[in-house]
Structure 1
């Protein structure tokens, strides 16, 4: 009877039961709840496409409605509160009708609540079955109408209406149930959404599709009965199936989106420079690439427009929910060894300082730089070659020679000028930085390659639309940058990759922990990293084999054909070796000492005097010498004519052992080691 009394009290209130002045004072003294409704942060692409949304503090999906289909709004008002634009917050006719029906039938037949009263209830979560709760809704509704416009009140409803589970507001509902924004809804979709807030849990289409369908039908029937919908449109709407499963909310660029939301906790909408189509395509590419890799292997991709600095896509991992791959770690920002990817900058700096030219002859032979004696990746030496060939083959000894000439600190300074933040173990740069002896991120490398693509002029990569370019000091002259890019553009694409002519470089860090590919054309720059997030080795991982095909695929998904690289600057020296100025025809390292011409072999492992744990096999490594090699243990030949520089001795036993290696020229080396249990 309390509910019936509330209906009658409201009816009396608006049929002259109370003095007007007393009513006005009662309304004006109302303490309203906060009218600012918190909505989840949204991160959107450059075209406004939703990349990722976040729940509000209590875990509910509540988003800004944005544009809403006018047909839905009209159906909502026609069904819930047809005199919405005429009443002052409470509809006395509807309340009187509901009260009389309740008295006559001894139970509630139809509700008398207006949309404004429903907003009042949602703002305060006041009960609907108690007299004091109903009176409070009436009072708040009347006060709301005096302080807000009808559109403001409708906007609050569209944000707060419950749609089942943790869904609140029209946009959360349409994204979850239909996978789209509410700007365009079919009559069937609109009718379902009109019916849900009346009983959001029992009519949830993902749990009770039959009940939801019946509620939808009642709304459509009312629309026909009231003359706001033709019967043929109702019949067509009833043929649409009710969605029986919720759609996942968009979660593109999840790592970047989460970082931006964390940096701007008060922002409701964060606009970015990302291209939604490209981002989705590259996330698909990353997931596909991981199908054929180890269970713990991860991957990251970054693409930017180096003309503006806009980051167009950022893939931090193949699957941010995959714990085995540590997918929650954003590998575009993880510090890793760059392998050979810094070599182009050594050459560009050397070209800029007049120390070398692409056609300068340079030595690739065993060389010692003090106590540092680098080896090529394949342990082979090419003798005298051009700098162009040395960079394209990614040889180590020539680039260390150039690094020794320009100074490793100069290379690090160039990385910092490009906007990177190299992490140097020990603080003092050595010659090994040219071979990956420094920590960098994928973002650092893509930014550095953007400067190379811009003929030496750096630019700050960013995700904020309209951000200033923040151009800094040149890394090197445009001529040196163009010559380096020309060398990289001469590399053939990886097997099976699209035949796009882009300038690119691959790299593999020590122990096969990181596989890299960086590349650019006349407009865009991209980088790919592959490895394990925990830094463990990935046997057989090479940048050229794994990362480079993904780089070329990323460019193919970016656009149909690459933009041409710029023409050579006017002062560029394009000559063969013989026509170069004499100092540029041959490069000699300043402080290097070449090994003897005999290039005698040396046992690199196990070193002389070492104690090694005995196992089923003993690893053997030889440095220098001429293959094939013969290995002896205590004078007995055990491995014959082996061309590999790394092999294994089976069942070596325990105790003292004398290892010897003999190369093809009869030169030998010996090491005495102890094999302990």
Structure 2
């Protein structure tokens, strides 16, 4: 038998709920209460401007990286259209079957809840809350502790219904519903528990996401998977009863495992996303030009290759659309959280020495100004420029080579000779046209050293330079979606004329590929900075430019680091991951001169510096073989005499050869000559070049 106190509590509860129902129905007392409650309610939120996490998306609207709200919550923007229809059907069927028809309060449900409340002596048995009332509770951020709280939610729900559409109310629920910890909203929950967006959910996944908001902490799968499973089962059973799903579908859903840990949120293009948020702090959605699939593939590539180069090595990759300049991928490091590799540093924007990667522009200027053709001959021999004496990477000189060979073999001496002829100021000006902010040590004046890497540039800038070459010399502004790009007001000054740009691209297509590459597939160039600190490889086909940097962010050397051995293989792997096949380079223009050296006009057959004294200085010929004072066994004693080959380095061809003062041969551009001695004994060998400079050695022949 109930006590007098229990009976009194039930009567009061029943009477209060009756007054609530009657008051909202129209009695004057109810109107007064309603007005008092309404005056203290929070404003109706604008579904278009909710306090949600900032999300950074790729070019197709796919999530690259979300950020928490200012109070540390994962609350991602979402609309009903972003959510699986099956989930929405299950949610309404479980929480609020009359959602489409009521005006905030389901009176039949409230009446049932009032009777149950009174029968339980003032304890809530079923809340009778509609989805709109739940939204009211979430907006107010207050739990339902008593009847007054319930009344407040009812009034608030009616206000929401008057101001918002059903779709907008559902948007608020989908955005604010709690899912445990700092996870709010269906989109964050689906990512956290299933590692995917809510657009396509299984029956089991949808049922769990319906169940969790009712008791998010008690049912958290990572804390109590048994409670989560029981809650999911309860939803599935009710869905079968209400005809939303079949018994077979429910049985299959029961067999799906419950997730036992949260999955990480997407973290693609982390550096670019962080820069986007810093540039647009007011935006809740930022759409980048990045291709999410390509970005993920390049990030994996960098993270895989960096450990092979040492514990502190990192990799940066930038891919750009040739036509538009849109950044398709931007990998700033080998992993944002790879602390030993300084993964937080965005090496796509770090200022480093470019090594030999600027050489194509040097030769492009020579082509543009009519100083050379790809098949023009040039001397690769030690040359001094007012105290600056460049040497090749391997320390050797090749003698007479074509411009094409000089660039494909990345010879330093010919590049500096050509740069000295075209002029450093003109070269730097063209770098500026291509978008490179040339940075010189201590703000000094540019010198010939800039052509071999004596200048600071970034990977993004180098990619922009090569994009201009790929576009026939027309510069392009790289865009990534972070900041709006102003429409061009006029024609930008070209980096190169179209014919010169085509010549450069044609030569770069002849650069020998690394071991994992195919010849002629792309036009590319490598570079290695002084001291083995930076390795570069930048290439393009007819559609895409990709740049790769490898090194240590702290600038310390890596033994054996080089552009061709370290960066080039990653470049070719990057093109493999485009998935589009190789797009052919631009065809030759009608004004392109395709000819061998002998078919060129006479002035183009040989590159000649305007100051012949510069290239001749300290360039006397040297007999490389045989060495002075050596004994040579040419088989004189056995009767099997062999010819003596005299080899020459440096000097300006043609060369004249002498033995004991008597002429023994003359060569055009060849740097060796064969001579058959008359017999054994000492002989003095001499060589004289076209400038009259000479060298001699004395050997003993036997």
Matching residue of 2:447: 430
Give me the whole-angstrom Cα distance separating, in 2, the residues matched to 1:599 and 1:335. 41
Match of 1:338 in 2: 354
Deviations 1:5-44 (A, max 9, x none): 6775344222358336546645664543361421112121
Q: Which residue of 2 aligns with 1:354?
A: 370
1:412 aligns with 2:422: no
Q: CA deviation at 1:149?
A: 2.1
Give, in angstroms, the shift of residue 131 of structure 1. Answer: 4.8
Given that residues 191 and 216 in structure 1 are in contact (C-alpha distance below 8 angstroms), is that contact kept between their aligned partners in structure 2? yes
Q: How far does residue 539 in structure 1 lie from its aligned partner after superposition?
A: 1.2
The 1:336–1:7 alpha-carbon spacing in structure 2 relative to 1, beyond 3 Å, is farther
Q: Secondary structure at the match of 2:545?
A: strand
Q: Take 1:3 and 1:588, find their aligned partners in 2: how far apart are those partners?
A: 108
Which residue in the other structure is 2:67 paired with? 54
Which deviates further from its counterpart, 104-113 or 385-394?
Answer: 104-113
Q: 1:450 — aligned with what?
A: 467
Distance of 2:554 and 2:546 partners within structure 1: 23
Unmatched segments (≥5 aa) in structure 2: 1-5, 625-648, 652-694
Q: Name the SS of the counterpart of 2:340 in structure 1.
A: coil
| Deviation for aligned residue 1:600 | 11
Q: Which residue of 1 aligns with 2:205?
A: 189
Residue 395 of structure 1 aligns with which residue? Answer: 411
1:111 Cα deviation (Å)?
1.7
Tell me, yes or no, if the aligned pair for 1:403 and 1:431 is still in contact at 8 Å: yes
Aligned-pair CA distance for 1:369:
0.3
Aligned to 1:539: 559
Correspondence 1:442-591 to 2 at 5 A: 442-464=459-481, 470=488, 472-499=492-519, 501-589=521-609, 590=611, 591=614
1:33 aligns with 2:43: yes
The alpha carbon displacement at 1:249 in A equals 1.0
Change (3 A) 1:501 1:230: closer
Corresponding position of 1:618: none
Asked if 1:14 is matched to 2:31, the reply is: no
- How far the C-alpha of 1:596 sits from its partner, in A, is 4.7
2:176 is matched with which residue: 160, 170, 173? Answer: 160
CA shift in 2, pair 1:6/1:94, >3 Å: farther
TM-superposition CA deviations, 1:617-660 (whole Å, max 9, x none): xxxxxxx999xxxxxxxxxxxxxxxxxxxxxxxxxxxxxxxxxx
Q: Which has the larger radius of gyration?
A: 2
Paired residue for 1:595, among 592, 612, 618?
618
Match for residue 55 of structure 2 among 18, 37, 42: 42
Conservation of the 8 A alpha-carbon contact between 2:55 and 2:66: yes
Does the Cα contact within 8 Å between 1:3 and 1:129 map onto a contact in 2?
no
Q: CA deviation digits over 1:524-577, x for unaligned, max 9?
A: 111100001111111110000010011111111113531111222111122222
| Residues 359-378 of structure 1 mapped to structure 2, 5 A cutoff | 359-378=375-394
CA distance in 2, matches of 1:496, 1:52: 33
Report the secondary structure of 2:117's partner residue.
Answer: helix
Counterpart secondary structure, 2:56: strand
Taking the aligned partners of 1:499 and 1:393, their CA distance within structure 2 comes to: 14
Matches within 5 A, 1:115-134: 115-134=131-150
Partner SS, residue 455 of structure 1: coil
| Match in the other structure for 1:252 | 268
Contact map agreement 2:371 2:604 (CA 8 A) in 1:
yes
Q: Structure 1: which 5+ runs fail to align?
A: 602-623, 627-663, 668-677
Q: Which residue of 2 aligns with 1:261?
A: 277
Higher alpha-carbon deviation: 66-75 or 592-601: 592-601
SS at match of 1:243: coil
Aligned-partner Cα distance in 1 for 2:249–2:500: 69
Q: Secondary structure at the match of 2:115?
A: helix
Note closer, same or farther for the CA distance 1:427–1:113 as it changes in structure 2 (3 Å cut).
Answer: same
Q: Deviations over 1:179-230 (max 9, x none)?
A: 2221222221111111111110110112211110000111111222334333
TM-score (ref. length: structure 2): 0.82
Shift of 1:579: 2.7
Distance 1:131 1:576, change over 3 A: same
Is the 2:509–2:522 Cα contact (8 Å) retained in structure 1? Answer: yes
Say which is worse superposed, 306-315 or 81-90, in terms of deviation. 81-90
Question: What is aligned with 1:79?
Answer: 94
Q: Distance in 1 between matches of 2:397 and 2:578?
A: 39
1:303 aligned partner: 319
1:280–1:498 CA distance, 2 compared to 1 (3 A):
farther
State the shift of 1:511 in Å: 0.3
CA distance in 2, matches of 1:5, 1:267: 51
